[in-house]
Amino acid sequence: MKIASTTFYVAPEGVDTNPGDASRPFRSVERARDAIRELRGGGGLDEDVRVILRPGVYFQADSLRFDERDGGADGHSVVYAGEPGGKSIARRSSPAGGSSGCSRTGGPW
């Protein structure tokens, strides 16, 4: 039996009003997180969820926050992963105008 799953895509050149599919990715990880919250509809999950970050640099004005709505539930998982073979970098601007960040090359975060 195959387990159903949903995959959302995020790309630096994406648009957050896109549906988050492979051809029309979201721009931000926050939007993907919010799409998962919408999918849950205040309840559990009916399927596994993957968020694929395409290679590139993701700038964030604020810290990215997750809570109990953002994890797996009902035996299903939520996985954020860099696209295989690519390098995804999350960068947050500091109050002094500098930046800090982390990177991931493929695999789950």
Q: Which long-range contacts link 38-43 to residues 24+ away (Cβ below 8 Å)?
A: 39/6, 40/69, 40/73
Share of the chain above pLDDT 70, in %: 81
User: What pLDDT is attached to residue 19?
Assistant: 97
Q: What is the pTM of this model?
A: 0.80
User: What pLDDT is attached to residue 90?
Assistant: 83
Confidence of residue 101 (pLDDT cuts 50, 70, 90): very low
**Does residue 94 have a pLDDT over 60?**
no
Spatial neighbors of 31 by CB under 8 A, at least 6 apart, are 10, 16, 20
**Does residue 74 have a pLDDT over 70?**
yes
Q: What does the pLDDT average to over 74-85?
A: 92
Angle subtended at Cα 43 by Cα 2 and Cα 36, rounded to the nearest 5 degrees: 65
Domain ranges (residues) in the chain: 5-105
Confidence of residue 1 (pLDDT cuts 50, 70, 90): very low
User: What pLDDT is attached to residue 106?
Assistant: 52
